[in-house]
Amino acid sequence: MEKEVQQAHTSLLPIQSVGFQQKGKEMSLKSTSRVRRIVLRGTLIALLVCVVGILLLSLSIELHIKEMCEMATQKYPGDQVEALMRFVESEERGYDAHRYKTNNHAIWALGQLGDDRALPFLKNLVTDEPCDHETNLCQGEIKETIHKLERNGFNLPQFLWRRILNS
């Protein structure tokens, strides 16, 4: 009698475990496809956020460069690159820490515009002195701008807002 009970018990186990495994597989397939959908949606959302971030950053850069170009061309009408260079080299305001800050922004704008005509002008500004934004132009910004212009690499923000040079 005990043997019959054991045989009945062992014969039921495979059937029960097979049913459980099938349910487990079904649940696994459903959860896997759900995870895939979540990952896909998350990836698409992250990609969208990156694209929007790049566009907003480019717009911010464009507006800042446009502001610097307008400030320079109001004082020195004509070409934007030449106006920015003349704006930086003018000393009519005497010592003024704000002047150096504004000129550092103008130097940055020259780098963003990506025009090689600014290279000789920028190389003349290099003094190899330590940066002191209160009393001198930022040597780091000048060197970075020179490097950017000499490298002549792809500039994504410039590619997105190049139209301001033509306005």
User: Rounded distance, CA 162 to CA 99, Å?
Assistant: 27
Question: Hey, what amino acid is at 23?
Answer: K
User: Which residues lie closer than 8 Å to 88 by C-beta, 6 or more apart?
Assistant: 103, 106, 107, 121, 125, 137
Sign of CA dihedral 102, 105, 106, 107: positive
DSSP H or E run through 124: helix 119-125
> Sorting pLDDT into bands at 50, 70 and 90, what band is 49?
very high
- pTM confidence score: 0.64
Give the model's pLDDT for residue 50: 95
Give the model's pLDDT for residue 17: 42
Which of 13-27, 81-95, 130-144 shows the highest mean pLDDT? Answer: 130-144
